[in-house]
């Protein structure tokens, strides 16, 4: 999957953890702290790669 394709679709918890190279536990911790841009759809969390990329570039991922 190329970068433009990722930015335009919703990613699952597993996909975003692989994309960022971290565990799903880390992703959940970032969501709890209201740092990681995430959207809840029923019981599932979904992520836009473009929003996550902007979050990483802002430096908030390193905190």
| Predicted local confidence at residue 2, as pLDDT | 52
State the pLDDT at residue 6.
Answer: 60
Which domain covers residue 52, as residue numbers? 3-62
Judge if pTM exceeds 0.85: no
Q: What is the 3-state secondary structure (H, E, C) of 8-31?
A: CCEECHHHHHHHHCCCHHHHHHHH
pLDDT tens by residue, the chain, 63 residues: 555 566 578 999 999 999 999 999 999 999 998 789 999 999 999 999 999 999 998 876 665
Total domains in the fold of the chain: 1
Write down the pLDDT at residue 34.
78
pLDDT for the residue numbered 35: 86
The CATH number that applies at residue 33 is 1.10.1660.10
């Amino acid at each position: 999957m190329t970068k433009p394709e990722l930015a335009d679709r919703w990613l699952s918890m597993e996909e975003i953890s692989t994309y960022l190279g971290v565990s799903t536990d880390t992703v959940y911790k970032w969501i709890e702290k209201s740092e990681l841009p995430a959207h809840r759809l029923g019981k599932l969390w979904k992520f836009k790669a473009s929003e996550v990329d902007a979050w990483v570039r802002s430096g908030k991922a390193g905190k």
